[in-house]
Amino acid sequence: MNAAIQNTISQYFSTFIENVSTKFNIPQEQLDELWKETQKEKLRRRVSANKTPSAYINFCNHHRKIIKTENPNLTFGEVAKALGSLWKAQSADEKKKYTDPAYVSEQPEKEEAKKVKRSRKNKD
């Protein structure tokens, strides 16, 4: 980042912190700590959003639609219980296919949803 721009942003931020500190009678050090915690939380969310889903999540995403179409009157909790019992009934080999990158990439609706989400972000 350009040094002049960075310096200007720092000045604006310092002025903002002073104004908030004065208005709400909060020490500047405390505001600095709150800001740092907020930034750490944002970073954690970004990192967790980029994680690949677990085998169980892939399994649930695939089978949730099937369960809902077969039993449209089930509540959210009942669907979750059904998914859990189905997952427990799977053998290790059957579970392993849900971690396979080839299986995950076979789900075109996921890729399409990601493209739509990216295009929405680019519009903003």
Reported as a single tens digit per residue, the pLDDT across 19-49 is 888 888 888 888 888 888 888 888 887 777 6
99 — pLDDT class (breaks 50, 70, 90): confident
Cα angle for residues 117, 75, 113 (degrees, 5° grid): 10
Phi, psi of 73 (to 5 degrees): -90, 0
* CA distance linking residue 33 with residue 31, whole number of Å: 5
Q: What is the CATH number of domain 55-107?
A: 1.10.30.10
Q: For residue 121, is pLDDT > 80?
A: no
Orientation of helix 3-24 relative to helix 28-49, angle to 10°:
120
Domain segments of the chain: what residues? 3-49, 55-107
DSSP per residue, 20-53: HHHHHT--HHHHHHHHHHHHHHHHHHHHHHTSPP
User: For residue 74, what pLDDT is reported?
Assistant: 92
Q: For residue 9, is pLDDT > 80?
A: yes
Q: For residue 107, is pLDDT > 60?
A: no
Q: Which two tokens stand for residue 29?
A: 């050090």
